[in-house]
Amino acid sequence: MPLDTKILSQAATEARGLAMDAVQAAASGHLGLPLGCAEIGAVLFGHALSYFPEDPGWINRDRFVLSAGHGSMFLYSWLHLAGYDLPIGEIKRFRQLHSKTPGHPEFGETPGVEATTGPLGQGVGNAVGMAVASKMAEARFNTKEHAIFDHKIVCLAGDGCLQEGVASEAAAFGGHQKLDNLILIYDSNDVTLDAMAKMSQSEDTAERFRAYGYDVHIVNGQDLEGFFATFEAAKYATTGKPQFIVARTLIGKGIPEVAGTQKAHGEGGVKYVDADRKTLGLPDEKFYVSKEVYEYFAGHRQVLKQRYLDWQEKYSGWKNANPDLAALLDRGVHREIPPDLVSKIPAFPKDSKIATRKAGSDVLQPIAEALPLVIGGSADLYGSTLNYIQAEKDFNPENRSGRNIRFGIREHGMCAILNGIAYHGIFVPSGATFLVFADYCRPSIRLASLARLPVVYIFTHDSVGVGEDGPTHQPVETVSGLRVIPHLDVIRPGDPEETAGAFAAAFSRTDGPTLIALTRQAIPLQNEVPVEVRREGVRKGAYVAHKETAKLEVIILATGSELQHALNAAKQLGDGVRVVSVPCTERFWRQDEGYRDEVLPPSCRKRVAIEAGVTALWYQFVGLDGKVVGIDRFGMSAPGGKVMTELGMTAESVIQAVKSLTA
């Protein structure tokens, strides 16, 4: 279909007006991108993208990710014009309490917003992840007769995104993986926030992406026809490479007083908009959209609807011919998990003494079999993290059905990509590295938590028990540092059966991410506690692992590899001692008060906690009267067992702490 440049140009002007009025009304926000990229928005939402506002979750829609999330008014204007459930009233309430137009795009808050963006660069990683998921979906669900998946992933990123390391990691991975369904548009406007971009960058970005393995196009982003032609060339390219479009734009176009300078980036241009709207041809009426533009989009929706209905027909044919595949896809889309997942994991032999990372490897296999949409990956550490799905192969350009992703040494990129796979809405992603490198992942983990994505992190080498690699590789503050992220479950299982419970809990969770922290070193099975109690105890976050045999006097709390010391101490201390295993504090806080009080009776205030990590967080459980045996310093380079003993991670330390309370 030919491009209607006249009406799309008018739509671009009116979208500029919406951004101006919204940012002016909110007295905050970012005008530069919505104004500079208005023509790009008009081409994408007014013509080039496949989507259907009445069914924003349509699985074969093109995904559009605004990585430069500060330009949120760009997205909101176009989603409004496109006909998503985002009425003009919401545009007027830009950045206000409980509006559908938050400061930066938030997944789940606004129909049509595909990813929570704002921390620059993350959206590029998300888009790469979506492109991975979409390739997987094509490989696993399309048949010769019915290609139900053929959508593109389109991402708009600015200088800021492309300066960020996470975008470089993800983009390089995307090039290596030949993700030819990815179209990355670079809003190249020579401006960042503080200054002209040349003050902080002098690389040739186009050449950089060529080197990553992208086809590179350069176009004037203000030229509707030129941009459309370039976009189409990228969309239909047959080179097998991802596409990088350098769109040269004028930041803040429409406010000549600031356009092309850093003053245009934020709300600096607001004071000129009343005068400049006239020059643009906009009436005095604020939040103005002409009848013709609304009518154009209403007409365009009919075109999109036909495309959607054609697809539904194709889908029905596919579904009839492939009922099993259709049922699987349905389970993925609706995030259905068998309630008896944990029972698919065989019990460990009672005499085994293995590291929980090894236990994790063992339990991952039946989980991956029970949940065919689970995807795994490791940042070049499969040999240590042991999370390879053994019945499956690598994901790569030759095998898009592979369920194991080799991310390379790109932890941050990996986690942004995992988020993208989750956003895509079919697969359940998991990824692995050493726990100490969670700091390299944290911005993406935080966003997974904010967006409530069901991502599973399998992070191993969870304490100073790592040993010889020394303090650089020995987490001490990491586990507690992760526990403070809202909506993130951190599970540190205390033996292989708790590990089984941890994996079942993590892969059953649909409303947020879970991080499982596993040991490098072998630890014993706690056979004193029945298998079901340990597994179910993890689901609840904490449970009584050893019950007192006389009047309750002391509670010892423990997690991970320190559970063994707590149980040993209890044996030596005698009758009035209870041990509570606390594999996941977040899950425990979600239990009702009755259960929490049953496990930790408030009347018992003599409490000792032990964990091979910083102590602060444990005071919420032991209170002012309690003691914490922990490690408030960095570790040391020596064999793991020696380091543990040297730093007091022993039953003896627990006994002494208890005695100091009961003396």
Ligand X SMILES: Cc1ncc(C[n+]2csc(CCOP(=O)(O)OP(=O)(O)O)c2C)c(N)n1
Q: Which residues bind ligand X (CB under 6 A)?
A: 32-33, 68, 70-71, 118-120, 158-161, 164, 187, 189, 191-193, 251, 265
Smaller CB distance to ligand X: residue 104 or 534?
A: 104
- For residue 432, CA distances in Å to 187, 396, 510, 544 come to 33, 18, 19, 30
Smaller CB distance to ligand X: residue 251 or 584?
A: 251
Smaller CB distance to ligand X: residue 246 or 614?
A: 246
Smaller CB distance to ligand X: residue 392 or 411?
A: 411
Residue 245 φ then ψ, to 5°: -105, 115
Q: C-beta of 119: minimal distance to ligand X in Å?
A: 4
Smaller CB distance to ligand X: residue 67 or 514?
A: 67
Q: C-beta of 427: minimal distance to ligand X in Å?
A: 26
Smaller CB distance to ligand X: residue 258 or 375?
A: 258
Which of the residues 39, 90, 114, 411 is marked catalytic? 411
Non-local (6+) Cβ contacts of 610 within 8 A are 556, 557, 558, 562, 565, 566, 628, 629, 630, 649, 653, 654, 657
Q: C-beta of 512: minimal distance to ligand X in Å?
A: 22
Contact (Cβ atoms closer than 8 angstroms) between residue 637 and residue 471: yes
- For residue 529, CA distances in Å to 145, 328, 390 come to 54, 36, 30
Percent helix, strand, coil in the chain, to 5, is 50, 15, 40
State the residue for tokens 């409980």: 98
Burial of 334 (C-beta count, 10 Å sphere; 0-12/13-18/19+): exposed
Smaller CB distance to ligand X: residue 68 or 651?
A: 68
Contact (Cβ atoms closer than 8 angstroms) between residue 154 and residue 123: no
Contact (Cβ atoms closer than 8 angstroms) between residue 407 and residue 417: yes
- 3-state SS assignment for residue 426: coil
* Residue closest to ligand X (Cβ): 158
CA distance 436 to 434: 5
Q: C-beta of 43: minimal distance to ligand X in Å?
A: 18
Q: C-beta of 453: minimal distance to ligand X in Å?
A: 19
Q: Which residues of 292-321 are buried (b: 16+ CB within 10 A; e: fewer)?
A: ebeebbeebbeebeeebeebeebbeebbee
Contact (Cβ atoms closer than 8 angstroms) between residue 459 and residue 527: no
Quick one: which of 70, 80, 79, 91 has its CA closest to 24? 91
Helices 205-212, 165-176: axis angle to 10 degrees equals: 40
Q: How is residue 101 written in tokens?
A: 């137009």
CA distance 67 to 127: 8
CA distance 154 to 156: 7
CA distance 184 to 106: 20
Smaller CB distance to ligand X: residue 192 or 650?
A: 192
Q: C-beta of 258: minimal distance to ligand X in Å?
A: 11
- Rg (C-alpha) for the chain, rounded Å, is 27
Smaller CB distance to ligand X: residue 18 or 567?
A: 18
Quick one: which of 103, 120, 112, 153 has its CA closest to 420? 153
Residue 275 φ then ψ, to 5°: -75, -40
Smaller CB distance to ligand X: residue 5 or 261?
A: 261
Amino acid of residue 29: G
Smaller CB distance to ligand X: residue 17 or 118?
A: 118
**How does DSSP classify residue 346?**
P
Q: C-beta of 253: minimal distance to ligand X in Å?
A: 12
Q: C-beta of 28: minimal distance to ligand X in Å?
A: 13
Q: C-beta of 160: minimal distance to ligand X in Å?
A: 3
Q: How is residue 535 written in tokens?
A: 């597994």
Q: Which residues of 104-137 are buried (b: 16+ CB within 10 A; e: fewer)?
A: bbbbeebebbbbbbbbbbbbbbbbbbbbbbbbbb
Query: Is the alpha carbon torsion for 81, 86, 89, 92 positive or negative?
Result: negative
Question: Is 553 marked active-site?
Answer: no
- For residue 635, CA distances in Å to 43, 436, 472 come to 56, 12, 8
Q: C-beta of 189: minimal distance to ligand X in Å?
A: 5
- For residue 462, CA distances in Å to 377, 556, 613 come to 18, 21, 9
Smaller CB distance to ligand X: residue 155 or 654?
A: 155
Name the residues annotated as catalytic.
Answer: 411
